[in-house]
Each structure stands twice: as C-alpha cells, then as structure tokens.
Amino acid sequence: MKRILLIIAAMCVLGFAAYFAFIYYVSYSEGYRSGELIRMSHKGVMMKTWEGELSQGVSGSQIFRFSVLDSDKKVIEQLNELQGQYVKMTYVERYRTFSWWGDSHFFITAVQKETSPFKYK
C-alpha cells in the first residue's frame, strides 16, 4: 500500500514539474506590436508585477495589455523612459501565466523607439 501511495505522489510531482516546465519554456506565439506607450506601472499587493498598455489606434480603442518579467531590468528602464512615445515592442505570448509573472499572457522582451505614422510636420 505504501508503494502505491509513493508512486501516486511521485506521479503528481512529475506532473506538476512537467506542467511548470511547459508554461515556463514553451511559447504560443512571438511577434511585434507598435503603438503609443500609454501606461507602465508596478502593481500588486503581495507580488509586484510590471504591467503596461500600448495604444494601437487613433481613438485609443485598440489597447494592447502586456507584462514585463522582473528579470528584464533593461526593458523595464527603457519602457519607463519611453512612456508617452511611439514604440515598437517584441513580445512572447504564453499559454498561461503565473501570478508572480503578471496579469497578461503577453511578455515584452525588447523595445525600441519608432517614428509615429500619425504625426506629420
């Protein structure tokens, strides 16, 4: 009986480890988004996460919500400096997220300043 319980416990641990590894390493999609960076905040009570919004339309009706991992310090600094400007972001979309990563399934990996197509001289 102890052996059966030990096997069941080991299967549960291996299942959890496989699930965690899948969520951590496997991405659903990768791509780019451009728009005006309208919000960047560090929010949460117990687990602080970096969250932001990118406006992709003239009226602000197309909002792209994203998260940034705490380990990406350079990206966080760039986003804070570029707030209110037109930017191009590289993102990775994951199947699921953990509460300590952020609210969104989209995670920004790189950012660069772009020229806005809406502003004319």
Q: Given CA atoms 80, 96, 21, 47 in this order, what sign does their dihedral have?
A: positive
pLDDT of 96 reads 79
Q: Which two tokens stand for residue 92?
A: 């990775």
Q: Which residue has the higher pLDDT, 117 or 38?
A: 38
Residue 27's beta-bridge partner residues? 94
Question: Mind listing the domains of the chain with CATH numbers?
Answer: 27-113 (2.40.50.140)
Q: Which two tokens stand for residue 106?
A: 């989209």
pLDDT of 120 reads 58
pTM (two decimals): 0.75
Please report which residue ranges of 35-95 form alpha helices under DSSP H: 73-81
